[in-house]
Structure 1
Amino acid sequence: MDFEQTVEKSQRLFPHELRSKNRVLVITAVSAERDAMLRGLLDDTRFDVLAAGVGSVVAAVNTVKALSSDEYSLVICAGIGGGFSGKAEVGSLVVATEIVAADLGAETSKGFCSLDELGFGFTRVQIDANLVARVSQALQEAKLPVTTGPVLTVSTVTGTAASAAELASRVPGATAEAMEGYGVGCAANDRGLPVLEIRAISNVVGPRDRSAWQIKEALDALEAASAVLTEVLL
């Protein structure tokens, strides 16, 4: 089922007149993340969960499509991601305090220069601090391990210790990395909607070692987090 068919099915199952005004659009990258969210949400009709594809651009495009087809009060980018060593442990959750497009810019003889520094735009999507506090506190009260901090959006997943160290230096406090948050955040901002990013950590940011990834555990954490959202986002 493609993205447009998923949106159409959601609208058919839950017609506009039957929906709560306080509705949430949840964007994941892939179907496994979407399904984990749906298991936790238990058919709560306030939430639409859509797998928009991998990467910031396709996520932005499909978020705009979804926002054009219905009315929402909040957009959440959710899924698994990598956690920076010492910041977010594998199996834990991260609630973003800001979303940072960490590799959007230019290389110079003095190092990386961000889009902001170039004067061509912005690389940071701000997130409402009260919303972050509400969600992270609810997750803690549910006995789920959770950290807050900047979540990086990258076009190329980090695969070396040197790259991980460079990103951590470039964005002080960097907690996790993924590939869709910035695109989803820009789409939400364009509509004047608040955005939230939640990541369940499946691996440590650094040398690529698929044998060490704990995807099932991360998806389980994502499912548990989504169950909490039904209580806190009333």
Structure 2
Amino acid sequence: MSDRMMDRSRSRLTSQVFDKIREDIVCGRLAPDAPLSEADLCQQLEVSRTPVREALIKLAEEELVVIYPHFGTFVAPISLEAVTVGQYIREKLECALVEDAIKRMDDDGRERIRANLREQAAVVGNGDAFYKLDNVFHALIAELSGYAGAWNAILRAKTQLDRVRYLTTQDSDRMAVTLIEHQMIADAIIAGDVDTTVVHMRAHLRTVFGHLDGLGLDEARPRLPSRKRGGKAGSGVREALLPVRP
């Protein structure tokens, strides 16, 4: 295998490790302050140390893990400031995107929105499935606006926000309310009513603030956790990865 092919293989494996650990942090399967042992992750994911180490560095850059030199790596606490900033960026971008989506809307776009809403309605009560379709709904609006790449910027900005969003989407009543909010946004988009769409989108995105008080978030700097705190590092991350070694 050439050096270039080996680099691509390692990069792909690092991305797999990164994506799965990130998903487990966002979805709460790896709790705040949980220790992340490189050795345990390597064993459970059946990969070498290099892709795990590279993935953890990328996760630290996204402030999802905290690396303490000579001590250990831990899942970062949820930052209230980062949640607030992420919501602000998301709101500004998505309210602009819906305006452009309305300008470019055609029959195919309208049907794709309706189809997504039907899929959401079918999975109310299934938190993981609904959470994914919720993201698809918003990504679809970005695509229909002509600025699909803007969704990637939103994803990066709302990393900490998503940790709160996931917790709220696990409640069936909240899923039903979210579906109604999505329907109101979709109806306004399909009707071509920019002002009403923006009002509904802004109100929908701000509902996250109603769930913050009960989470006990604080703005203290991440404390140095005990090595014994939390479950076994990397639990739940193995099944989505192929047992391949670079």
TM class, shorter-length: under 0.3
TM-score between both structures, scaled by the size of structure 1: 0.23
TM-score (norm 2): 0.22
Structure number having the greater strand percentage: 1
| Higher relative contact order structure (alpha carbons within 8 Å, sequence separation ≥ 6) | 2
Larger radius of gyration: 2
**More helix per residue: 1 or 2?**
2
